[in-house]
Amino acid sequence: MFLDERIVTLFKRNAHHTLTYWSVFFSFGLCIAFLGPTILDLQCQTNSTLSQITWVFFAQQFCLLIGSSVGGIFKRTLLTALAALFFSALVISVIFAIIPLCNNVLVLAIAMAVSGLAMGLIDTIANIQLVTIYQKDSAVFLQALHFFIGFGALVSPLIADPFLSETGCGNHTGNETEVIHHFRSMLRNSPIVEHSIPLSNLSHGVEKEESSVHYAFWIMALINLPVPIAVLYLMYREQLIPCCPNGTPRLLDKDELAMESQQGAEGPAVEQIEHEAGVTGHGSIFSCCQNDNLRGLPLSFFMIHILGGMVLFMTDGIVGAYAGFVYTYAVAPPMSLPHKTAGYLASIFWAAITAGRLLSIPLSYRFHPVKLLIFNLAGAIVSVLLLLIFYTSSIFLFVGTCLCGLFLSSIFPCMLAYTEDILDYQGCAISVLVTSAGMGEMVMQVLVGSIIQTEGSYSFLLCGMIIACIGFILFIGLLLFHRMHRNYLTGTSKKSAMVEEPATEQNGEVKTEQIDNEENIQESPN
């Protein structure tokens, strides 16, 4: 078996929580990739230009970043965490239901921003809750969690495709149709793109096609609706709903009772260690920065947060940029693939990410996260390098796209598990890493898109190579600061042991003297 009995027992004990968080992330994947294919239909719905409608998606991505930054605030109790997940999932369904009614680009931008804020809260809270539940065994379950993002992102274009209009705002031919297919394929998996080609001048003198994209958004709202219901049912099971009467608590089996007893015995010691360390646990970035007790922590503690976030800034930036611009690279010289053939590249990329995360579930149990990180980062660099070498081969473009997706797929969950293990599940690692990854995806798409416009399509792979190398160098720095932090913890534990040893000897001498006095009293005549 890939997993031992202890991991299976942990999953069975927390199956309801785990399955709920996984379903939330499947919904998250549907939402993050669903909007791209519908961008041209939304442009027609709001009577806006393509440059204006892409800023609507920028508003969603920016608010997703804000939601990821503040999501750690709700982790303080299980009630606040589940309540935030419930309202966020419910808001997403409501927003997708009212998007077809938004006939103004500003109203649509506000709706997208609210949905982005909700998705950002889901992103941070679900990661934190899984790490809190499984602690040092969280790597396997984090890989599965992020598999559901890729699976949702893979499925969502299939839902939208039957309802998309073939000609945008009108029936166009020739180059006009190629422009529409170009942007639709490029934006299918990219929530933000910085292109500014107005299409309003293409709609003069043609008959407007009736769009049915509103059905796609309503289907999305229905698909997402079971998620808040599942979270609400979990709150009911945990007796966290004030208006519902408390049911009879379930009996603990022998293993759970033993674990609860052990945790109860170790509880005061753990609380004392955390208090002495001056770390409040997972929280938002802002609450971490305001913590006065951080002053006594070593430099390595902060550098682990910073370097881990920078690595994900680079790697998730590559994911966003590659999914958004691989179509642009494929249809331009020297590759010059047919538009229909190039349209499959983004789907293949997401399919490889999904398969890679599924494959990483058993691997994360067999290997330490740091080994998987080294392998994946090196593999990503080699893949982009081979794409640069064989830049005229259309066959290797598909092979390299698949390899890039496989190697990039598990970097994010492995980095979460690795940094949390280094910091002993204290500090603000998850909030920092999630925020950095979202910021990297947003910034790199804008940066790479502008470079492609000015320098040409070949700069696409060159940018990917440079970003991947910078990410690997930052990871080497993270390994060095990990060693420094480990030496710091070892020195601190030795000092504590040296301080406790004389006190123990003194207590032993006092006890010996008390025993001798009692024996002398018993031996003395009455």
The predicted structure's pLDDT at residue 187: 44
Give all domains of the chain, ordered by start, each with its CATH number: 13-168+212-242 (1.20.1250.20), 297-493 (1.20.1250.20)
* Biggest alpha carbon–alpha carbon distance for the chain: 123
Give the burial string for 1-13 (b: 16+ CB within 10 Å, else e). Answer: eeeeeebeebbeb
Task: State the pLDDT at residue 491.
Answer: 74
C-alpha to C-alpha distance for 369 and 367, rounded to whole angstroms: 6
- CB-based burial of residue 215 (10 Å sphere; 0-12 exposed, 13-18 middle, 19+ buried)? middle
Residues 310-328 pLDDT 10s: 999 999 999 988 887 887 7
CA-to-CA distance for 498 and 481, rounded, in angstroms? 26
pLDDT computed for residue 140 by the predictor: 79
Q: pLDDT at position 193, please?
A: 40
DSSP assignment of 338-399 equals -HHHHTHHHHHHHHHHHHHHHHHHHHHHHS-HHHHHHHHHHHHHHHHHHHHHTTT-HHHHHH
Residues counted in the chain: 526
Average pLDDT over residues 423-439: 75
Task: State which H helix or E strand residue 15 sits in.
Answer: helix 15-34
- Which of 47, 44, 56, 52 minimizes the C-alpha distance to 168? 44
Beta carbons within 8 Å of 488's beta carbon, 6+ residues apart: 298, 300
Residue type, 48: S
Q: Give rounded-to-5 percent helix, strand, coil for the chain.
A: 80, 0, 20
Can you give the pLDDT at residue 260? 43
Question: Would you state the structure tokens that stand for residue 118, as one six-digit string?
Answer: 């909700």
What is the pLDDT confidence band of residue 216, given thresholds at 50, 70 and 90? confident
| Least trusted range by pLDDT, from 216-230, 441-455, 498-512 | 498-512
Q: How many Cβ atoms from other residues are within 10 Å of residue 293's Cβ?
A: 12
Task: Select the highest-mean-pLDDT range: 34-48, 55-69, 107-121, 425-439.
Answer: 107-121
Question: Which tokens belong to 61?
Answer: 């991505």
In this structure, of 54-58, 137-141, 507-511, the range with the lowest mean pLDDT score is 507-511
Non-local (6+) Cβ contacts of 496 within 8 A are: none
In angstroms, the Cα distances linking 502 to 272, 439, 497, 509, 526 are 21, 51, 9, 10, 38
Contact 130, 145 (CB under 8 A): yes
DSSP conformational letter for 252:
P
Average pLDDT, the chain: 75
CA–CA distance, 87 with 114 (Å, rounded to integer): 12
* Least confident residue range of 131-140, 176-185, 440-449, 468-477: 176-185
* Rounded CA separation 347/341 (Å): 11
As a whole-number percent, the residues of the chain with pLDDT over 70 amount to: 70
Task: HSE, CB side, 13 Å, CA atoms: give it for residue 40.
Answer: 31
